[in-house]
Chain A
Amino acid sequence: MAREISLAVVDGILIGGVYALMAVGLTLIFGVLDIINIAQGVLVILGAYLSYSLFTAAHIDVFVGLLVTVPAMFIVGVAIHWAFIRRLRGTERTSMTLLVTYAVALIIEGVLYKIYGANYDQINASYTNSTVHIFGIYIEYIYIYGFILAIALVVGLYALLYRTRFGRSVRATMQDETAARLVGIDVNRVAAVTFGIGIAVTAAGGMVYGATTAFNANSGYDLISRLLAIIILGGMGSIGGALGAAVFMITLESVVTVWYPTWSVAVFYAALVLVLVIRPNGFFGQRAVRAQ
């Protein structure tokens, strides 16, 4: 039993890292644009399918393939922002953007269904089948590589946000859009690029997700509901909160699976509800308090 639990914890932390990557994109978009991107889940699936196609059709290694899929998803993100998000203004913007991104998700899901069908696919790279033996447990390489990739990208995002001029303008926009505008920041450009970055990380997240889990176009719903739970728990707009919440929630789910496989997802949402009863703004929700 102890071995199973330790395996579950290790699994949870490794997968949690990947979820953290996807959730950071979501929470970053929320922080800067004040919108919730419901399409994030299906975009992860789109990223997974991109890697899958490159791998099966052109036999490009999934990690090398990221050099193509990440910029591609960045462009998709900027395009979605340009075509739909940027036009929405006014008092009902919150609900409008939510519905728009939901509609975008539906369209992408339908297109994916049309291309790939309803069957479940999985990326079968060499990493996914071979295992490594650490501390008495066996772990597939893809989990470790995926975790390292996620950590590298999150660190990269941190560096971008806290060490560059662009990052400073992003944080300024997150704090106060009007003030950012007044000091000469091109808020629209910042918003477009941030949206692109938030979507671009789904390419990497989707690749690891597609290599560790069987997926079809419908898997986006499951993903987005988990990601939303994670960013609410972490406090919307808080990047550190998203990281912590992702690892915590996925580990919790993974550990509960040891005893109750069918109810583990319910524990996931029950934890969300419980936390919200005690702290309506999540663990790190200072910003969210103001955003209310």
Chain B
Amino acid sequence: MSDLITEPGGKERGMKQLDRSLKAAGLVAVAVIAIGFPKAFPNPAITNYGVYAMIYVTVASAWNIFSGNTGYISLGQAVFYGSGAYALGAAASGWHFTGTAVFELLPFAGLVGAIIAVPVGLIALRVRRHTFIVITIAFFFIFQLMAFNLSFTHGTIGMNAPFLSWSAAGYNTPFYYIAMAYAAGTIAIAWLIRRSRFGLQLRAIRDDEDRARGLGVRTMRVKLSAFVISGAITAMIGSVWFYYVTQVQPSSGFDPLFDLTIVLMAFLGGYGSIIGTALGALIVEPVTLWLNTQPQFSGGYLSEILLGAVFLVVILFMPRGIFPTAGEWITRIRTRGRPAVVPATTVGVAASSVPATSVGSGSSGSSGGAR
């Protein structure tokens, strides 16, 4: 997908080809930076940022596969994140997995996420819009409560991961590469879905679900499939996170701020856009982490206020996200005086792949209610 804003290239001929090679070069550069990052900054405090950034790129991209494509905003992704963490913990202690063998359990965590996603999705996806969002919140609270009260989750104490005998200096690096692999894999899956018939069906649901059904899209099956894919990925990366931080409590595994942070990442980068969501995660997560390490922000409330404030600014002034808005500005500058030559391959796609938020005024607000 060409959501990434590439530099203005050749104008007269070979535009498309140049664009494509630029994009390939950009992709290689991103890969080199991503792979070389822990080599260039071996300091564990720095690689820690990298691990979290990659975890959140994965989580946000997984959220985007379902919510970005279908328009059903899920505020319950922590259900899968926490379940994955607990599933890995329970399986590792129950089946006596230790050391690096624990990583063999990652598919199991994904399976647990998928299995949870089916009944949750079957119930939640019966309703739309507001009600769906609220149902996902309700499921979130049910799962948090179960983590508090079931016997195998050990209540507020939570679970500890099996010991991993890696040296402290290089401890983060393998986790970074695992999380990076998940991030890359999730983005690739999101891209493949976007290009496929399945992705078209998902976006048809976002635009008009009843019409999509009228045209023969099996909406429930399609929605549920995306929900399950998203849930399975989130559960797997949740279990990676659990092994990385070595413990999980109900309040950390099932954290309401987690859900909100993902949505902020997606909206900041550009709701519905694959690259935008990933970039949003790359911006938000390190900043949040950094804020939490600053002594003057200790206690968490100031970072909470900041998160809320940034969120408000983004939604009120850049409702399509930073990158699409910036893309529009670039287009405007590039096409000044020559209004007809908007290059459809770069910015135009980014703008059109995002729901037109500012279109229509009072009347569309009411038609949303009457639909």
A residues touching B (Cβ–Cβ < 8 Å)?
Answer: 30, 34-36, 84, 87-96, 98-100, 102-107, 109-111, 113-114, 176-178, 181, 187, 217, 221, 225, 228-229, 232, 236, 262-263, 265-266, 269-270, 272-273, 276-277, 280-281, 288, 290-292
**Would A269 and B141 count as touching, CB distance under 8 A?**
yes
Docked CA distance A35–B130 (Å): 8
* Residue B11 is within 8 A (CB to CB) of chain A in the complex: no
Q: Across the interface, which residues of B come within 8 angstroms of A225, CB to CB?
A: 137-138, 141
Q: A213 to chain B: closest CB distance in Å?
A: 17
Please tell me if B135 contacts chain A, counting CB pairs below 8 Å: yes
12 A-B contacts, Cβ less than 8 Å apart? A91-B368, A92-B271, A98-B130, A107-B308, A113-B304, A177-B369, A236-B130, A262-B149, A266-B145, A273-B135, A276-B123, A291-B129
Q: How far is the CA of A258 from the CA of B282 in the complex (A)?
A: 48
- In the complex, the chain A residue whose C-beta lies closest to that of B272 is A92
Q: Is the CB of B308 within 8 A of A228?
A: no
Residues of B within 8 A of A176 (CB): 366, 370
Query: Is the CB–CB distance between A269 and B311 below 8 Å?
Result: no
Q: Is the CB of A103 within 8 A of B311?
A: yes
A139 to B319, CA, bound (A): 51
Q: How many A-B contacts at CB < 8 Å in the complex?
A: 173
Q: Are B141 and A177 in contact (CB under 8 A)?
A: no
Judged by a CB distance under 8 angstroms, whether B146 is at the interface is: yes
CB <8 Å contact, B305 and A273: no
* A269 B142 Cβ-Cβ under 8 A: yes
Q: Interface size on B (CB < 8 Å)?
A: 59
**Could you tell me if B304 and A96 are in contact, using CB atoms closer than 8 angstroms?**
no
Q: Hey, which chain A residues are within 8 Å of B312, CB to CB?
A: 84, 100, 103-104, 107
Is B145 in contact with A92, judged by CB distance below 8 angstroms?
Answer: no
Q: Within the assembled complex, what's the spacing in Å between the Cα atoms of A93 and B137?
A: 19
B141/A90 in contact, CB under 8 A: no
Q: Which residues of B contact A95 (CB under 8 A)?
A: 71, 73, 133
Nearest CB of B to A52, in Å: 18
Sorted nearest first, the 6 A-B pairs with minimum C-beta distance are A106-B308, A110-B305, A177-B366, A113-B301, A103-B311, A107-B308
CB-CB under 8 A from A98, the residues of chain B are 73, 130, 133
CB-based contact A228/B358 at 8 Å: no
B134 within 8 A of A: yes
Contact (Cβ within 8 A) A90 B356: yes
**Can you name the residue of chain B whose Cβ is closest to the Cβ of A177?**
B366
Interface SS of chain A: helix
Complex formed: what's the CA distance from A122 to B180 in Å?
A: 47
Q: In the complex, A236 Cα to B127 Cα: how many Å? A: 12
Which residues does B use to contact A, with CB under 8 Å?
71, 73, 123, 126-131, 133-135, 137-139, 141-142, 145-146, 148-149, 256-257, 260, 263-264, 267, 271, 299-302, 304-305, 307-309, 311-312, 315-316, 319, 355-371
In the complex, which of the residues A110, A263, A270 contacts B302, with contact meaning CB atoms closer than 8 Å? A110
| Cβ contact of A91, chosen from B134, B137, B300, B364, cutoff 8 A | B364
Chain A residues, CB < 8 A from B357: 90-92, 96
Task: Kindly state the separation between the CA atoms of A263 and B141 in the bound complex, as whole angstroms.
Answer: 12
Complex Cα gap A106–B309 (Å): 9
Q: Is the CB of B371 within 8 A of A292?
A: yes
> A111 to B256, alpha carbons, bound, how many Å?
18
Report the bound CA distance from A53 to B355 in whole Å. 45
Alpha-carbon gap, A90 to B263, bound state (A): 19
Beyond A104-B312, A236-B131, whether A89 also contacts B304 by CB under 8 A is no
**Bound-complex Cα distance A221 to B260 (A):** 13
**Complexed CA–CA distance, A281 and B145 (Å):** 25
Residues in chain B near residue A187, CB distance under 8 A:
362
**A92–chain B nearest beta-carbon distance, Å:** 5
Q: Of A35, A92, A232, which is within 8 A of B319 by CB?
A: A92
Residue of B nearest to A95 (CB): B73
By beta carbon, the residue of chain B nearest A118 is: B299
Q: Are A94 and B127 in touch, CB under 8 angstroms?
A: no
Q: Which of B129, B307, B367 has the most CB of A within 10 A?
A: B129
| Cβ-defined contact, B369 with A34, below 8 A | yes
Contact A91 B356 (CB under 8 A): yes
